[in-house]
């Protein structure tokens, strides 16, 4: 069965992925570029159960005017094409799900200087690619080779006074060019660094005071 769901809010997206998982051809479309951008940067990669399902959604005809159809299907193609590429940035949160920790009450925000020293001139290895944080001019570059093909990105890595480190880049793939911004919060307590993906990730031990072989920080 071919199904088109107009409106990609939470309910629409979950419904679409479920129908796709049951073997139907589904198109989740929306004429709001802002909403599509939000889904690309958050919803598809925040719930690891939905991310692989979303990649199965296929484009189907929608009974709209030519101008609306072009806008909607263009946005839909962007959503499906980049879901996997951007999910690589969030892979640490998935890989560390078994290490989810309760953030100690005494944990403090890491300073901008501490975060800079943590990431500068290092490459963050992901399951299907890597990202490089260069100290000079805070340049960021990345590449992925996943189920939807190869993608690469250029941009900057940004540090805030609130303990965030954000990867703000423009991604390039065969399907087109699109912006993406992914942010992580950092706290430290008794030598252990805690990290979570914003806005809805869970805290986990990014680097233990006594470094463990499976610490996510060991991939830097």
CA distance 167 to 93: 15
Q: Where are the domains of the chain?
A: 2-87, 99-219
Q: What is the per-residue pLDDT for 160?
A: 95
Is pLDDT at 116 greater than 60 in this prediction?
yes
The H or E element containing residue 87 is helix 66-87
Q: What is the per-residue pLDDT for 114?
A: 97
Q: What is the per-residue pLDDT for 98?
A: 43
- pLDDT tens-digit map of 118-159: 999 999 988 788 999 999 999 999 998 876 678 899 999 999
Is pLDDT at 43 greater than 50 in this prediction?
no
Q: What is the per-residue pLDDT for 126?
A: 82
- pLDDT tens-digit map of 60-114: 333 434 443 333 334 444 444 444 445 555 555 444 444 556 899 999 999 999 9
E strand residue ranges, the chain: 2-6, 25-29, 108-109, 122-126, 129-133, 139-146, 149-159, 164-173, 176-189, 192-197, 204-207
């Amino acid at each position: 069965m071919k199904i088109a769901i107009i409106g990609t809010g939470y309910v629409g997206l979950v419904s679409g992925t479920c129908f796709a998982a049951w073997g139907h051809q589904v198109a989740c479309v929306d004429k709001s570029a802002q909403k599509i951008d939000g889904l690309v940067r958050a919803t598809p990669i925040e719930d690891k159960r939905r991310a692989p399902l979303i990649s199965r959604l296929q484009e189907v005809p929608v009974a709209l005017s030519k101008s609306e159809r072009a806008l909607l299907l263009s946005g839909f193609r962007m959503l499906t094409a980049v879901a996997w590429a951007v999910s690589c940035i969030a892979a640490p949160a998935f890989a560390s799900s078994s290490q989810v920790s309760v953030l100690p009450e005494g944990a403090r925000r890491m300073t901008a200087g501490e975060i800079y020293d943590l990431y500068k001139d290092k490459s963050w290895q992901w399951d299907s690619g890597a990202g490089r944080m260069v100290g000079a001019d805070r340049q960021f570059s990345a590449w992925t080779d996943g189920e939807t093909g190869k993608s690469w990105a250029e941009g900057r890595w940004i540090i805030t006074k609130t303990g965030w480190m954000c990867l703000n880049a423009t991604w390039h793939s065969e399907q087109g060019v699109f912006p993406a911004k992914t942010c992580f919060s950092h706290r430290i307590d008794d030598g252990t660094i805690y990290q979570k993906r914003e806005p809805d990730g869970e805290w986990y031990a990014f680097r233990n005071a006594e470094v463990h072989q499976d610490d996510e920080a060991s991939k830097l």
